[in-house]
Amino acid sequence: MHKILVVEDEQRVANLLKAGLEENGFQVMVAYDGEMGLRLFRSQTFDLVISDVILPKMNGFEMCKEMRTLHAGIPILMLTALGTTDDKLDGFDAGADDYMVKPFDFRELMARIQVLLKRKSIAPTEAPSTLEYADLKIDLATKQVYRQGQPIKLSPKEYNLLHYMMENPEKVLTRPEIADKVWNTHFDTGTNFIDVYINYLRKKIDKDYETKLIHTKTGMGFLLSDKL
């Protein structure tokens, strides 16, 4: 079920939107001013935002710009009585994906929503260029590792192990899981090759730094954390 945030200060319009969207199978949350809309957007996960432009406390354009800095991929559809070309351009400049002028036909609104949700589902996700945890950083393009800005030279196996740990920070990783995900092999309880590579990493990642990042959970596995 897709979740939609509706930001509309007119109670009647907000109620109509909520009822109509829920009848069409959507989960809906409503905010009645821009600041409330932004708070909900920060604290919840939504698939789409429908917002008026003229709102109390923070207008829809300002709210849209803030939302775009938080999550660039969530579709935002502006509903407003402001229908000039300049108004629409302002909306698109703020980061809106679509713009409908009040009064609107609900069937058209539903069609626009379906297009936006479909576009979102097939949009390629931009791969991150770095992985970062605490003061540790991996440049994924160059496969270079840095701690506090200082380069650390790792072997390919050490790099792959650290990469996997940084993809799963603060999570206990078992030896069988590491063997499977990092080396594509089954863990042999008669060998200690994973412990050996963990020790290699410790010497390079932690030895010269006060805060230790690589930890052993006895009888469980290993984890990357700056909180222990």
Report the alpha-carbon angle 24-45-91, nearest 5. 80
Do residue 109 and residue 147 come from a single domain?
Answer: no
Instruction: Domain count for the chain, please give it.
Output: 2
Do residue 96 and residue 79 come from a single domain?
Answer: yes
Do residue 82 and residue 135 come from a single domain?
Answer: no
Q: Which residue has 């590792």 as its token pair?
A: 145
Report the alpha-carbon angle 150-148-218, nearest 5. 105
Do residue 100 and residue 12 come from a single domain?
Answer: yes
What confidence score (pLDDT) does residue 50 get? 92
Determine the structural domain holding residue 215 and report its residue range.
Answer: 130-224
Q: Would the CA dihedral through 98, 79, 84, 93 be positive or negative?
A: negative
Strand, helix or coil for residue 128: coil
Find the CATH number of the domain harbouring 42: 3.40.50.2300
Do residue 28 and residue 109 come from a single domain?
Answer: yes
Do residue 117 and residue 136 come from a single domain?
Answer: no
What confidence score (pLDDT) does residue 87 get? 57
Among residues 122, 148, 170, the one where a domain terminates is 122
Do residue 134 and residue 210 come from a single domain?
Answer: yes
What confidence score (pLDDT) does residue 189 get? 59
**Angle between the 34-43 and 60-70 helix axes, to the nearest 10 degrees?**
20
Do residue 47 and residue 104 come from a single domain?
Answer: yes
Residue 57 structure tokens:
């406390």
- Paired with 50 in beta bridges are 6, 77
How does pLDDT run along the chain (228 residues), one tens digit per residue? 789 999 998 999 999 999 999 999 999 999 999 899 999 998 888 999 998 888 899 888 888 888 888 887 788 898 877 655 555 666 666 777 788 888 888 898 899 899 888 877 655 555 678 899 999 999 988 889 999 999 999 988 899 899 999 999 999 999 999 988 887 666 565 668 889 999 999 999 999 999 999 999 999 999 999 988
Q: Read off the amino acid at residue 134.
A: A
What confidence score (pLDDT) does residue 73 get? 78
- The dihedral over CA atoms of 77, 81, 84, 85, expressed in degrees to the nearest 10, equals 0
Report residue 224: phi and psi, to 5°. Answer: -100, 120
The set of residues, in sequence order, having a beta carbon less than 8 Å from that of 23 and lying 6+ positions away, is: none
What confidence score (pLDDT) does residue 225 get? 96
Q: Which residue has 């006895």 as its token pair?
A: 218
Q: Which stretches of the chain are DSSP H helices?
A: 11-23, 34-43, 60-70, 85-94, 106-122, 156-167, 175-183, 193-205
Among residues 95, 122, 149, the one where a domain terminates is 122
Do residue 79 and residue 19 come from a single domain?
Answer: yes
Do residue 91 and residue 15 come from a single domain?
Answer: yes
Do residue 13 and residue 86 come from a single domain?
Answer: yes
Report residue 3: phi and psi, to 5°. Answer: -110, 125
Do residue 81 and residue 101 come from a single domain?
Answer: yes
CA distance 71 to 65: 10
Q: What is the distance in angstroms between the CA of the first residue and the CA of the last residue of the chain?
A: 39
Among residues 122, 153, 181, the one where a domain terminates is 122
Find the CATH number of the domain harbouring 198: 1.10.10.10
**Angle between the 193-205 and 156-167 helix axes, to the nearest 10 degrees?**
80
